[in-house]
Amino acid sequence: MTDAAKDNTMLNAPSTAKAMSRRRALLGCSAALTGAAALAAPAIAQGAPRTLRLASSWPAGLGGLADSAVRLAEQINIASDGRYNIELYWPGELVPAFGVHDAVGAGEVDLYHSAEYYFQNKHRGFNFFTTVPLGLTTPEQTAWTKFGGGQALWDELNARYNVKAIACGGTGIQMGGWFNKEILTADDFEGLIMRLPGLGAQVLAAMGATAVSLPADGIVSALFEGSIDATEWVGPYNDLQFGFQKLLTTYIYPGFHEPGTMASFGMNLDLWNSLDAQDRALFETICDAELTSHTADFYGNNGIALVQLLAESGVQPTRLPDDVWNELSRVSFDVTASVANDDDLGRRIVESYESYRALVNGAGPISQTEYFARRGAVDLFAGL
């Protein structure tokens, strides 16, 4: 691969200058809003805004995810009428991409925007508040979190680390990823080195592969260096931006590993406990709104990007063979269930999650599955 090709691989790759300018723009926006509010209501005494630092796990400019972090910061600044000033920092500016949970728990940073499965080295239960293999889809994950007891378990787990987290997005069912060879049998995973986080990594390990967890800004270089043979990252929207189609030839669907990946907004627990009911509602409401925006962003742009990717690259996604899928499913259920053996909280998380999955799965085959089949979704790729 030439240097020129390498330079062109990651489309729209953000520069440090762009990252800093975006953060400065946020600060300027907040300052302008604060001034405007003061002019509009001069009779109301208003002190200086409370500045909170938000650390993102996503590199600046990454569609869907970095955009979501920007929206959250902007909307909190606006909705608080200048009482809060959220400063947004990208990975490496304050803490590494995977260091945000530690930093927020310790009070070194106030807030984070990330995905909880990056913290599974602390407790494997964190996976269930992002996604697990063969688990809940984005709408189901949201329902379990909000109405199935998930949030209470999430709060209990995060309280161990002095963190409060709220759901703020979902990617939908992800693609299976990009590989340097075809996956025709379960044996084809043997010896493969793949970038994959969460419990999906443990499933691959059971299949004979090696899984490594890399932040977004380390994937392309790892592919160039040959330290990984395969990778995944949501779907066409981000795949096109990274330029994976220029580096790997086999694009597989569907993904077994991440059916409804949820993004999270984390806050230092001491800070959360210090807030009054109005400000707690403010943060929760903004996160609810962003949950809708983030999910819609991925659902819409994945479809648009897939058309572009196929037209420009000639890559044709290949369906994972049924026998391979079935073996991945078998191992996935074993790995997911094993979290119940970790401790009592792990057991209660697994029991709650699996009970809810069984509950909502009963309606799926006669509603969503049948609808999509009749709408022709199974022929999507053939029709493009």
| Residue 8, SS3 per DSSP | helix
Q: What is the pLDDT of residues 303-358, one digit of tens each?
A: 999 999 999 998 999 999 999 999 999 999 999 999 999 999 999 999 999 999 99
pLDDT of residue 362: 78
Q: pTM score, two decimals?
A: 0.86
The span from the CA of 76 to the CA of 325, in Å, is 42
Judge contact between 353 and 129, C-beta under 8 A: no
Q: Select from 191, 197, 140, 76 the least CA-distant residue to 367.
A: 140
Strands of the 163-170 sheet, one edge to the other: 84-89, 50-56, 111-114, 262-268, 163-170
Q: What is the pLDDT of residues 224-282, one digit of tens each?
A: 999 999 999 999 999 999 999 999 999 999 999 999 999 999 999 999 999 999 999 99
Amino acid identity of 121?
N
Using the predicted structure, report yes or no on whether residue 148 has a pLDDT greater than 80.
Answer: yes
User: Cα 79 vs. chain centroid, distance in angstroms?
Assistant: 24
Judge contact between 76 and 53, C-beta under 8 A: no
Burial classification of residue 341, based on how many CB atoms lie within 10 Å of its CB (0-12 exposed, 13-18 middle, 19 or more buried): exposed
| Residue 189, SS3 per DSSP | helix
Judge contact between 88 and 22, C-beta under 8 A: yes
Strand 230-231 to strand 262-268: parallel, antiparallel, or no bridges (unpaired)?
Answer: unpaired
pLDDT of residue 46: 60
Judge contact between 111 and 52, C-beta under 8 A: yes
Q: What is the pLDDT of residues 84-118, one digit of tens each?
A: 999 999 999 999 999 999 999 999 999 999 999 99
